[in-house]
Amino acid sequence: MKIEIHSLSETQAFAQKLAKLCVDQPLLITLDGDLGAGKTTWTKAFGKALGVKNTINSPTFTILKSYKQGDGKPLHHIDAYRLEGASQDLGFEDCFDEGITVIEWSSFIEDQLPEDRLSLSFEEGMDENRVITMEAHGEKSAKILEGYHD
């Protein structure tokens, strides 16, 4: 499914709509796209819609930042940007047991991720224009994608 976005408020509206479908489900969402494509911006809006109160900012330096959703379940925000070329098992599997995990630059740690995930790939256009391709890769994620209507 392709979603076209023309402004920050449309990014936020899309993240909110998806968040409603994801509440209370353990889920992995991967975000891919160039530097500046809007991955962290999207995660901020998504987290806010899930009821996260703290500031969600870039996890590039610490790799993983964890937050509490409105219902108390965790939202894990991972950035694999600095993990390019790392081949060791980094122990992320604990994140996938409970709550929602959002991973930026997921291709760098592809072999450590469960298959069932919702993948969002961001293509950058001019200014604030973006095209997001959303795909499901398993049963859980397919169910969420089915519930989504543009």
Instruction: Determine the angle formed by the axes of helices 139-147 and 8-22, rounding to 10 degrees.
Output: 120
Coil vs helix vs strand at 26: coil
**9 lines the binding site for other proteins (CB under 8 A):** no
Element (H, E) at 134: strand 130-136
Which residue's CB is nearer to other proteins, number 72 or number 85? 85
Candidates 57, 93, 114, 147; binder of other proteins (CB under 8 A) is: 57
- Residue range at the interface with other proteins (CB under 8 A); choices 9-17, 21-29, 61-69, 111-119: 61-69
Pick the binder of other proteins from 72, 88, 110, 115 (CB under 8 A): 88
Q: Where are the alpha helices (DSSP H) in the chain?
A: 8-22, 39-49, 139-147
Contact criterion met (CB below 8 Å) for 77 and 66: yes
The span of 19-27, 51-59, 99-107, 142-150 binding other proteins (CB under 8 A) equals 51-59
**Footprint on residues 113-142 left by other proteins (CB under 8 A):** none
For other proteins, which residue of 9, 24, 61, 147 counts as binding (CB under 8 A)? 61
Binding site for other proteins (CB under 8 A): 34-36, 40-41, 44, 55, 57-58, 60-66, 81-86, 88-91
